[in-house]
Structure 1
């Protein structure tokens, strides 16, 4: 099963971001927007995981969550990865979030799940560009966005089923959650 580990902003923070992106969504062409109900901060993408490794990583993620306190975050501004991905920036306790992401990745490695070994860049993916789309106007339009602070209190293990959602999008299924610092 295809899995990732994430932190999810609360509904009011997502509503703020949805409102801030409304005009950009309406005026953008060539962008495939992620459904707001699936917006999250990925800490680690685990890929295809067999049952044995899923059980092992589930146990390890629970222990990792317990070792990390909740963190105060905010969504603000926007950026892009090349000409492919439009994202919202994460502000606040990003060092604490990075440490949590490192623990999540370590838990995955100990469960013998290969994860990318590159620096963690906290962000929330908003849209992906189709060939030739220019992300700069969207980045500029969202540059002044500053959402209110919120507290990340839970870690989530999520299953992603490619093509199983509306319009052939991925469908996300929450498998397990753990309170941070419990």
Structure 2
């Protein structure tokens, strides 16, 4: 159940791959080591975002919770794996998501629809499932990301089944993630 939180919260809805699904990519990242101008995201923060909700207050979250629970429950479990890499411009290095991407995209659309039904204005843009691995963080980082994507392109993770989504608060002050609610992806009846 969602608890009361003061002021506004920066929220997103995501799937969290299990550690064994992340391990091959994490091992490959460790082998690359430190890269000047690149800030690696720790595997403990890796997730597949379904929707970034932005800054919401308690009332927004209360309105969002029921349609969000329904949308996620109706989607059912999704089989996925990490595969391939790429960049968003010169700022983000990501691992791709393969498997039942059509069902994953439908789940993301359902989450976005639930947010809109709750009166939240989400930015309209195509859904591109990924896991953020690193960001450019200074001189040389932007140029390095493309090379890193090429080096990691062949890394694949094992298949895993997502059985829940999570409503997550991002604490911008310290980079911490806090799961506010576990949202089961219910199997078809």
TM-score (norm 1): 0.93
Corresponding pairs, count: 176
Alignment match, 1:78: 85
Alignment match, 1:46: 53
Write the mapping of 1:99-114 to structure 2, written as runs, cut at 5 A: 99-114=106-121
Deviation at residue 31 of structure 1 after TM alignment = 0.9
Contact (CA 8 Å) 1:6, 1:42: kept in 2 or not? yes
> Could you tell me how far apart the structure 1 residues matched to 2:13 and 2:103 are?
16
Q: Secondary structure at the match of 2:119?
A: coil
Moved over 6 A (4+): none
> Could you tell me how far apart the structure 2 residues matched to 1:12 and 1:34 are?
17
Alignment match, 1:15: 23
Does 1:33 pair with 2:40? Answer: yes
> Could you tell me how far apart the structure 2 residues matched to 1:144 and 1:28 are?
19
Alignment match, 2:12: 4
Does 1:179 pair with 2:184? Answer: yes
> Could you tell me how far apart the structure 1 residues matched to 2:96 and 2:105 are?
14
> Could you tell me how far apart the structure 1 residues matched to 2:63 and 2:22 are?
32
> Could you tell me how far apart the structure 2 residues matched to 1:21 and 1:7 are?
21
Q: Secondary structure at the match of 1:125?
A: strand
Write the mapping of 1:26-175 to structure 2, written as runs, cut at 5 A: 26-131=33-138, 132-133=140-141, 134=143, 135-164=145-174, 170-175=175-180
Deviation at residue 28 of structure 1 after TM alignment = 1.6
Deviation at residue 27 of structure 1 after TM alignment = 4.1
Deviation at residue 61 of structure 1 after TM alignment = 1.2
Contact (CA 8 Å) 1:28, 1:138: kept in 2 or not? no
Specify every segment of 5 or more residues in structure 1 that has no aligned partner in the other structure, as ranges. Answer: 165-169
Alignment match, 1:167: none
> Could you tell me how far apart the structure 2 residues matched to 1:130 and 1:6 are?
24
> Could you tell me how far apart the structure 2 residues matched to 1:106 and 1:89 are?
24
